[in-house]
Amino acid sequence: MFVENGFHATGIAAIAKESGVAVQQLYRDFPSKEDIIAAIVAADCERLADQNTLNTALTNRDRAGIISWLVSTPCRKDECGDRLFLEIAAEATRNERIRAIFLEVRAEAFENISRAFAGLMGSDVVEAEHRTLAQAFMIISLGSVCARTLHQEAVKPASDKLIECLIEGAK
């Protein structure tokens, strides 16, 4: 509903009706729409982060596993998820609570991607170079989401090539 109607045009009563939950129960579980967004973001991030896979690859110094984790991260083909991401990003510019959630999620993703680049370079310690590569990686990923969603462009080949260049540079 947030994707179709936007954050402000989606009311708690409509969410309750769509989900088949009584309004009172929804308010008990989620006192505000921000709490619903927080729950959606947390669940989506946990699913996308796949930290167990990354941690296993890092522990085993499995370069192919680290690369596989990195490559799978930005290559979602989830149009609804991309649109929801952009809706949340837009709301983060207006709403401090959503902004805080957004920044927390970004920081966690940034740290995981930095750790992945450190692992690719044979290090257990994240250094400035790893953070720079992570920053570039995130810029490519976010740009891909915007291009796919806003312009309906097929950006996967270009995105894959840029990410391949980052990974190759991490030796």
The first and second tokens of residue 125, run together, are 């310690």
- pLDDT, average across residues 41-62: 83
Q: What is the pLDDT of residues 98-109, one digit of tens each?
A: 888 888 888 988
Q: Is the pLDDT of residue 124 over 90?
A: yes
d(CA 70, CA 167): 9
pTM over the 0.85 mark = no
pLDDT for the residue numbered 62: 96
Model confidence over 135-155: pLDDT tens digits?
A: 999 999 888 888 888 887 778
pLDDT of residue 76: 54
Q: What is the pLDDT of residues 12-36, one digit of tens each?
A: 889 889 989 898 998 899 888 888 8
